[in-house]
Amino acid sequence: MSEISKEISRRRTFAIISHPDAGKTTLTEKLLLYGRAIQSAGSVKGKQNDRHAVSDWMEIEKKRGISITSSVLQFEYDGYCINILDTPGHQDFSEDTYRTLTAADSVVMVIDAAKGIEPQTRKLFKVCAMRNIPIFTFINKMDREARDSFELLDELEKEFGIGTYPMNWPIGCGTDFKGVFDREKRRILTFSDSHAGSDRIKAIECELSDAEKLDTLIGPYMRETLVDEIELLDGASFDFDIEKVRTGKLSPVFFGSALNNFGVEPFLENFLKMTTEPLSYRSGEEYISPTTEGFSAFVFKIQANMNKAHRDRIAFMRICSGKFERSKEYFHVQGGKAIKLSRPQQMMASEREVIDEAYAGDIIGVFDPGIFSIGDTICEKGMKVEYAGIPTFAPEHFALVEQIDSLKRKQFDKGITQIAQEGAIQMFFLPDSGMERVYVGVVGMLQFDVLQFRMESEYGVKYHKQDTAHCLVRFAEGDVDMKRLNLMQSTKWVKDRRGRDLLLFTAEYEINWALEKNEGLVLKEFSQVQEI
Ligand code: G4P
């Protein structure tokens, strides 16, 4: 195996997704602890003290005077080179969160055991399912009161249409949480809650058949329940099939408590064994394997600088094949030009570092003088490759944006068009009106703030914004005359940049109404049709 192939095969690039508060930051921190990428618990999130948030670039960059928000954390563990992609949630949730998932080879879904599937997990899962990438589930907070484990699995299977395979099985929960049964090794690991914050837990191991020892560890009642549940599980659950795991059809499930370090290490070890090496990406009709000769990458995110003093932007790219070398000249396919990527950098746990080389599976951020767009391909000169564009994701919030000062009309048009082209917002037009009033659609409310800030600081334009109640968007197809459509009053007909017809709705029943009243109208989901 060549040196490059060896480097690529040890890469594991994944994203951790969850609904806010399920434990994504805590799990990330514990994984970094095992990789010795950080020294102490609490350094990922500096709520109580002033230690900065490792995975929260925005905070770090604010301190340094520039703003980048999230990207990727890289660390070594047991011979693997691990890239954890940060998927901003909370108030930072935006279309970038979705786009980031296009750069991951697998996903770890953190679920709060007391809550089960929550709205943000649902949204993020949909994007992962579109790509058929492996999905691992970590059911967290078993040290608290939890929902029935069978019920949680059932919910995952029914809602997400995937199979689940519990790798371990919890013994009690909350104050009665005694540990887990490891299904592969057929033994139990006991839990004591005195491990919080410590490096590694020392688990006590015991065979399921050792009734006497088990009785002393978890008591006869819990032992009996466990034996019954394992019997039920062995008989009723899906068979383990690694191919199904690797294509996202079967999700290995781990129960644990990230805060207490319980179940994190077995999770990491099993995950690394089961998940995939860097995946191939589509270019035209072909799939480009990561070991294909020559460097190639695509831009999945562009982060404009919010600070006036630093106008530059950073383009984040996922390397799809070969090796990146800092000094080399590469080719920007969409721009048709040779380029040098300046100041390429990676996030190494707590520090952002300028790097000299990187491999397929890695993510690099480069300074963008305004030449890149989301979805662009950069590759070795002479390589024939152009990666399939990144889909735009259905906006969930809309506002009618109207220019105030007609003398600044040109700046308004230019600004809003450019910001939309960069993918920071989506723009829709009223069919019989010009650019002075447009609909802006976003995935996360933060994008509205970014728009306002940039319009004022970069283009010197203020505008009037009226939020609307629309939250659903569909492409209108089929053989219909848009002007004659029979729609509810709140439904809005708009056009996208390419002149395609869309309808904005405020609720699901409005969509049904439109379909019932207009024969021949076909409504298509947004992200299945659209590519930037
Ligand atoms: P997020 O990134 O998904 O939003 O979640 P985060 O890790 O920040 O965790 C949310 C809260 O849940 C935190 O408490 C965290 O300590 C707690 N938590 C995470 N994992 C576990 C677990 O396994 N068991 C229990 N009992 N709690 C867990 P907080 O009080 O909101 O924050 P903090 O003050 O502790 O940082």
| CA 105/CA 246 separation, integer angstroms | 10
Q: Would you call 7 helix, strand, or coil by DSSP?
A: helix
> pLDDT higher for 2 or 54?
2
pLDDT greater than 90 at residue 74: no
* Residue 422, pLDDT score: 79
- pLDDT average, residue stretch 141-170: 95
| CA 467/CA 165 separation, integer angstroms | 44
Q: Would you call 209 helix, strand, or coil by DSSP?
A: coil
> pLDDT higher for 305 or 504?
504
Q: Would you call 418 helix, strand, or coil by DSSP?
A: helix
* H-type alpha helices, 372-469: 409-421, 446-459
| CA 177/CA 165 separation, integer angstroms | 21
pLDDT tens digits along 83-97 = 998 787 666 677 888
pLDDT greater than 80 at residue 66: no
| Cα(26) to centroid(ligand 1), Å | 6
| Matching fold, domains 10-274 and 397-524 | no
pLDDT greater than 80 at residue 113: yes
pLDDT tens digits along 375-413 = 999 999 999 999 987 888 889 999 999 999 888 899 999
* Residue 347, pLDDT score: 53
79-to-7, 9, 36, 83, 456 alpha-carbon distances in Å: 10, 10, 13, 13, 48
pLDDT greater than 90 at residue 109: yes
Q: In the block, which residue shows the tokens 């709520």? A: 47
Which of these, 462, 465, 467, lies nearest to 412 by C-alpha position?
462
What letter represents residue 503's amino acid? L
Which of these, 56, 57, 67, 58, lies nearest to 309 by C-alpha position?
67
| Cα(259) to centroid(ligand 1), Å | 7
CB 349 within 8 A of CB 307: no
* Angle, CA 71 vertex, CA 275 and CA 19 arms, to 5°: 70
The chain-wide mean pLDDT, for the chain, equals 85
Helix, strand counts (H, E) of the chain: 13, 31
- pLDDT average, residue stretch 435-457: 88
| CA 428/CA 353 separation, integer angstroms | 39
Q: Would you call 163 helix, strand, or coil by DSSP?
A: strand
Mutate which of 25, 26, 143 to test ligand 1's pocket (most atoms within 8 Å of Cβ)? 26
Fold of 281-379: Elongation Factor Tu (Ef-tu); domain 3 (2.40.30)
Q: How many other C-beta atoms can be found within 10 angstroms of the C-beta atom of residue 58?
A: 16
| CA 383/CA 123 separation, integer angstroms | 36
Q: Would you call 297 helix, strand, or coil by DSSP?
A: strand
Surface-to-core class of residue 51, CB atoms within 10 Å of its CB (0-12 exposed, 13-18 middle, 19+ buried): middle
Minimal-distance CA residue to ligand 1 atom 4: 21
Q: Which CATH class is domain 10-274?
A: alpha beta
Ligand 1: does its nearest atom lie under 6 Å from the Cβ of 24? yes
Q: Which two tokens stand for residue 205?
A: 């191991």
Q: How many other C-beta atoms can be found within 10 angstroms of the C-beta atom of residue 281?
A: 24
pLDDT tens digits along 207-241 = 888 888 888 888 899 989 999 999 999 888 788 99
What pLDDT band is residue 473 in, cutting at 50, 70 and 90? very high
pLDDT greater than 50 at residue 43: no
| CA 155/CA 148 separation, integer angstroms | 11
Each domain of the chain, given as residue ranges in start order, spans 10-274, 281-379, 397-524
Ligand 1: does its nearest atom lie under 6 Å from the Cβ of 45? yes
CB 232 within 8 A of CB 181: no
* Residue 98, pLDDT score: 86
| Cα(21) to centroid(ligand 1), Å | 6
Whole-prediction pTM value?
0.85
Q: Which CATH class is domain 397-524?
A: alpha beta
Surface-to-core class of residue 157, CB atoms within 10 Å of its CB (0-12 exposed, 13-18 middle, 19+ buried): middle
Ligand 1 atom closest to the Cα of residue 27 is 7
